[in-house]
Every structure is written in structure tokens, then in C-alpha cells.
């Protein structure tokens, strides 16, 4: 019996977190059917086979381009029935998390979010979840036959394990009731690398002393092909756009590398970055709390350290 994976996309491109979801489902060893909704490039769909999908469904109706949660949930419930799948895997995200909850409610499934490891099936079906903003973990047993699993970023490595597969058109009958809620406007983050998908993030805090000094961080980010972020006070003072705010009440990130420049390390900020694989802190205050959470720290003036760091990286490249 296959595992169904909901694949998210943006501007026709499959999100990296969804590639991780496909890889996670493949590692479960039960066969993988991936389903994408709305406008997605043909090459992107075919590439899902590379990460472990044996079958790819594409519901291309233009009504599914806008990410209406109710409609997405209805399509996924039908796909679960058609594919005779008892497990849905998807990435935790601003779209995936509410979709997961709605699907679980519709089919009376056990639901687990923020899952960080493959299920333990030695005695039932249990998963390990990240809780308390990454400060602890808990084991949860999913007892219902049908299960919905939302995985945390970096829970699986998106690596090539197979060959591309041809996508199969998936026809759906959309109910007007699923579109009772409409998105009237949206504000999308811009930039070469978007914060939620970034493998490397360069963030700045009040230690940067003003928006006019952000150029050195942008240059470092460009050199590393990284996204830029900031602390809450910085976005509150309108030094940087709100969508760059990293923290408990902003964007939670889990990159391979997080570089914090001039950020003291308040608990609210740490809650949004503590899932990062490696944290580097640059601060002239040797007593800054962030150093306690850092893997590497540099005590020094950002306006001296960052340009030298950027130059050194360029020299290596």
C-alpha cells in the first residue's frame, strides 16, 4: 500500500521541503505516490521520481493555484481513497500544516506534526516529534489506521535514489463549497533565496545600527547564496521587511548554516533558529546570550569582521 505525499510548489517549482517529504516517504519502504496541485512545471514533476516517487499525480485545475486549504484537503482525501493509501506525508509549512489538520479531521486520521525521524514500527506505529520550539522531543503513537505525518524541515535528506517518472493527469471535481473562503490579496517575500527554503541564512540585529549598513550582510549572503533575515526589533523599526523577521513570532528556520550578526540572542529569537544545523554568532559583546547557543562564535565588530569574512569566502571560491 503506497504512501501519498502532498507536494507544494511556488511559481511552478517544487519546494525543497516537499522533496524532503518524498525522500522521507521513500525511506518508509512502502512505495510512494506524489501528488501536486495547480500549476507545476512538467520537469519539476518528473524529477520527483529521482527522490523516490514511483508515481506522480498532477491535479492541474487552475482553481488550485491559490492554495485554498479546504479545496486542497478535499483533493488529497480523494487521492488517498483512489490510491488506497492510509498514510499522507507532507512538509510542515504555512500551507501544509493547516491542510494536514483538515485532512486528518475529514478521514478521522491520527495526526503528528513536526516529525523529525522515520516511524518506529517495532511495536505499533510511533513517531518522534519536536516540541517546545525545538527544546524537547516526544514519542507519539499513531493508533488509527489512517495517519497524517507532517515532517519538519531537514527531517530527511533529499537525495537522488531513482529515475524521473512521467506525471499522470489527475482529474478532480471541485466543490464550490470548498471555495467559500477566498484569498483577496497576498504579500509574497522576494529575493534570490527565500527564507523558509534557504540552506544558509544571514541575519542581522540592532547591532547593525541602521538600515543603511545592511549592505555588508547582503554582500555576505550573496556570496554564500544565502537568504537574509533579521531580529524582531529590526523589523519593528522598519529597518528590514517584516517577512525577514526570524523568531518565535516570525519565520522559523532550520538551515544548514545560520549566521547571526549583531543579535543578542533573546529567547524569542532562539526559538526560531534552534533547529539550525550550525549556528555562527558575530557580536562585539562577549557576554551576548547568543554565544551560549552558538557552534562557533566571533567576538568582534561586525563592520570589521563581516567584510573580511566575505573576502575570505570569495577567495576560497
What residue numbers does the annotated binding site cover?
206, 262-269, 283
Rg (CA), the chain: 21
Reported as type and span, the H/E element at residue 220 is helix 215-224
What residue numbers does the annotated binding site for FAD cover?
206, 262-269, 283
Burial class (CB in 10 A: 0-12, 13-18, 19+), 162: middle
Identify the CA nearest to 265 among candidates 257, 253, 274. 274
Q: What is the secondary structure of 239-298 as a DSSP string?
A: SS-GGGBBSTTSB----SEEEEES----HHHHHHHTT-SEEEEEES-TT-THHHH-SEEE
Q: What is the secondary structure of 59-78 as a DSSP string?
A: E--GGGGG--HHHHHHHHHH
Cell of 212: 543603511
Between CA 206 and CA 265 the distance in angstroms is: 11
Q: What separation in angstroms does the CA of 183 have from each of 6, 149, 187, 201?
A: 21, 26, 11, 29
Reported as type and span, the H/E element at residue 314 is helix 302-316
Cell of 253: 528556520
Amino acid at each position: 500500500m503506497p504512501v501519498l505525499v502532498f507536494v507544494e510548489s511556488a511559481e511552478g517549482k517544487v519546494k525543497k521541503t516537499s522533496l524532503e517529504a518524498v525522500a522521507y516517504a521513500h525511506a518508509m519502504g512502502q512505495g510512494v505516490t506524489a501528488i501536486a496541485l495547480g500549476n507545476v512545471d512538467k520537469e519539476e514533476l518528473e524529477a520527483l521520481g529521482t527522490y523516490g516517487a514511483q508515481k506522480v499525480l498532477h491535479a492541474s485545475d487552475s482553481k488550485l493555484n491559490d492554495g485554498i486549504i479546504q479545496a486542497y484537503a478535499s483533493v488529497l482525501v480523494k487521492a488517498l481513497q483512489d490510491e488506497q493509501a492510509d498514510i499522507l506525508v507532507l512538509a510542515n509549512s504555512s500551507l501544509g500544516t493547516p491542510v494536514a489538520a483538515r485532512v486528518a479531521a475529514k478521514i478521522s486520521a491520527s495526526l503528528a506534526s513536526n516529525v523529525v525521524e522515520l516511524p518506529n514500527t517495532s511495536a505499533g506505529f510511533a513517531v518522534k516529534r519536536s516540541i517546545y520550539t525545538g527544546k524537547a522531543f516526544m514519542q507519539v503513537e499513531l493508533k488509527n489506521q489512517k495517519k497524517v505525518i507532517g515532517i519538519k524541515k531537514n527531517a530527511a535528506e533529499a537525495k537522488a535514489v531513482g529515475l524521473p517518472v512521467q506525471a499522470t493527469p489527475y482529474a478532480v471535481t471541485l466543490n464550490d463549497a470548498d471555495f467559500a473562503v477566498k484569498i483577496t490579496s497576498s504579500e509574497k517575500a522576494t529575493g534570490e533565496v527565500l527564507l523558509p527554503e534557504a540552506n544558509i541564512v544571514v541575519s542581522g540585529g540592532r547591532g547593525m545600527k541602521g538600515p543603511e549598513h545592511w549592505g555588508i550582510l547582503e554582500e555576505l549572503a550573496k556570496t554564500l547564496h544565502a537568504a537574509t533575515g533579521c531580529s524582531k526589533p529590526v523589523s519593528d523599526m522598519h529597518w528590514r521587511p517584516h517577512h525577514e523577521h526570524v523568531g518565535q513570532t516570525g519565520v522559523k528556520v532550520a538551515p544548514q548554516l545560520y549566521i547571526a550578526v549583531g543579535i543578542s540572542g533573546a529567547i524569542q529569537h532562539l526559538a526560531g533558529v534552534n533547529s539550525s544545523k550550525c549556528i555562527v554568532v558575530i557580536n562585539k559583546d562577549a557576554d551576548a546570550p547568543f554565544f551560549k547557543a552558538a557552534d562557533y562564535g566571533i567576538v568582534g565588530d561586525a563592520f570589521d569582521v563581516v567584510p573580511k569574512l566575505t573576502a575570505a569566502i570569495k577567495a576560497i571560491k
